[in-house]
Amino acid sequence: MERVALKEKKFNTLITIVSIIVPIVVALLFTVKLPNVERLGFLPPIYASINGLTAIFLIAALWAILNGKRRLHQNLMTINIGLSVLFLLMYIAYHMTSDSTSYAGEGILRTVYFVILISHILLSIVIIPLVLKTYTFAYLKQFERHKKWAKFTFPIWLYVAITGVVVYFMISPYYVN
For the stretch 129-163, pLDDT in tens is 999 999 999 999 999 999 999 999 999 999 999 99
Q: DSSP letter at 35?
A: T
Residue 161: φ, ψ to 5°? -65, -45
* CATH, residue 153: 1.20.120
- Confidence band of 33 (pLDDT split at 50, 70, 90): confident
pTM to 2 decimal places = 0.91
**Would residue 33 count as lying in a domain?**
no
- Report the C-alpha gap between 147 and 136 in whole angstroms: 12
**Would residue 11 count as lying in a domain?**
yes
In this prediction, residue 72 carries a pLDDT of 98
For the stretch 166-177, pLDDT in tens is 999 999 999 876
Q: How many domains does the chain contain in total?
A: 1
Q: What range does the domain containing 17 cover?
A: 2-25+42-174
**Would residue 30 count as lying in a domain?**
no
